[in-house]
Amino acid sequence: MANSKSAEKRIRVAERKRARNKPLRSAAKTFEKRAETAIAAGDAETAASEVRLAISQLDKVAGKGVIHPNNAARRKSRLMAKFNKLGVAATAQA
- Nearest 5 degrees, angle CA 17-CA 5-CA 20? 5
- Give residue 91's pLDDT: 58
Q: Is residue 92 pLDDT above 70, yes or no?
A: no
The b-or-e profile of 46-70 (16+ CB within 10 A means b, else e) is ebbebbeebbebbeebbeeebbeee
47-91: per-residue pLDDT in tens? Answer: 999 999 999 999 999 999 999 999 999 999 999 999 999 876 655
Under CATH, which number does the domain 5-93 receive?
1.20.58.110
7-38: per-residue pLDDT in tens? Answer: 999 999 999 999 999 999 999 999 999 999 99
